[in-house]
Structures are given as structure tokens and as C-alpha cells.
Amino acid sequence: MADYAHPEVLVSTDWVARHLGDTDTIRVIESNEDVLLYATGHLHNAVHIDWQTDLQDDLVRDYIGAQEFARLCSEHGIRNDTTVVFYGDKSNWWACYAFWVFKLFGHKDCRIMDGGRAKWSAEGRVLTPDVPAYPSTNYEAQEPGGDIRAFHAEVVRHMERGGALVDVRSPQEYIGEVTHMPGYPQEGALRGGHIPGAVNVPWSRAAREDGTFKSREMLEEIYLQEQGLTPKGDTVAYCRIGERSSHTWFVLRYLLGFKNVKNYDGSWTEWGNLVGAPIERGEPEAE
């Protein structure tokens, strides 16, 4: 991990196993696509954050406010100086998403357990159904900033000036062959295709079969050599609702050291349903 731009944000299963008892300074958080998975067994002393009911406003398509986020952290015994370590299913899709949301609200020490839940289980490590309880804290959350989140109007300006756009969905979604993520026909958009000028790098290309992140050399070959992206430029990543692109955002920002990369969480659910939003279909023309 030392070769990554910010190796401190990625921890191994061994590291987590050694620190599961350090609940005064560390909080391990499980966040999954399958919200029922936690109840079947999880890491000892780990708490559960449901990406939908805990982090989302159920009336507005947006995140909870700073006050609600502070309450959520307080209920889990998280202080502003707590090290929070995220892990989950799907090669840490939703762990990266939760990591990104915590960063939106200004939490400083956030980390990802490399390989997530699958690697922990594959190594034969213990899972428990016991749900821990922690004394509440007085957490103070800052208002969400715009340095890592892109809204539609900003993406339009970024597109018009030829900024780097990374579509991390499947090739079928990107070319407009399907209007939904494979296996999720109920979650489609009205139109298929991609934002003009976007390159297609499916999020899964950054992960190994065991769910761990590929080496920095391998990631640079994909994003820098193959796609021509640059760590010094402005980059926007998107997918369907921002979960897969949060994985790519994490890779670009922390593993490759991109200075200015944002996650467009409105993504294709917004763009593909918005009146007047330009789209492209098919493979990009070869230069």
C-alpha cells in the first residue's frame, strides 16, 4: 500500500483485526448495498450505517443535513477525532460511498478496509450477530462542502469546457444499449447513453477478484496511460446514483493523488431524465 498517493486511508484486514478492541479511538462501520447483510454477521464491535435510511433524506433526493449527520455519529459513539474504518460488500462500493459522505461533512480520519467484507470472510475471520452499543458523543458536523461533490450545473460547465469526465458504469449503459444497471431493471432512466465527452472506465476495473484495489502501477496504466487523465486536472466521475463513482473517486483522489476530482452523485438518474440534457450514444470515435 505504500506506493499509493495516500496509503494512510487504506488499511488491511490484519490491521483491522488488531484494532477491533480499540473502540475509544476507532469505529469500524459496515455499509452494504444489501442492507440486511449486517444482521447475518459482521465484524466484532462494528456498527451499521444504512446508505439509504441513515444517509439519505426520505423526502428530498439529497443527503441528511449537518445536524442529522451529527446525531447519527453521536448515536454510534463517534467523535470528531475518531478514526472511522469502512468496509462492506460489492468490493466496498457502499463503503466508499459512506466514506465520501463522511468527507462531505468534514470528518478527518476516514479509512477503507481493503477487500471489504468478502476478503474478511474468505480469510475465515469471525463474524458476529451481536450489535454493539456506545455512549453518545457531542459530534459537530460542518455544512457539506463543494470540493468533492459536483452538481448538474457544474457538470454542464465542466462538459462545455472539455473537462475530464469518467463514466464508471457498464459498457452497455455507457453506449446506451440499456437504460439501467445490469440486474436492476427497476432502476433505469428514460434515456440511455452518456454525457458528451465522457470516457468509460467501469469501476470494477480498479478492483482485483478478491475485492482489493489494484496496485498503483496498474491503476495508472488504466486511468493515466489508457485514458489520458491527469492528476493535476479537474475530473468528474459519475455512474447512476453516485455509488459506483464514489469507488472511482476514492481511487483517483487517494490512491492516484488526483488533486481536483469530484463525484457527481446526481449521475445518470438525473442526467438521463432531465429535459434538454445532451447525451451521446455508442462508442466514442477513435482519434
Catalytic positions, written as ranges = 239
How far is residue 136's CA from residue 14's CA, in Å, rounded to a whole number?
28
Residue 143, judged by CB atoms within 10 A of its CB (0-12, 13-18, 19+), counts as exposed
Listed residue (27, 21, 40) closest to 129, CA to CA: 40
- Which residues, in sequence order, are CB contacts of 202 under 8 Å at separation 6+? 168, 169, 170, 171
For residue 280, the 8-state DSSP code is B
How far is residue 147's CA from residue 170's CA, in Å, rounded to a whole number?
26
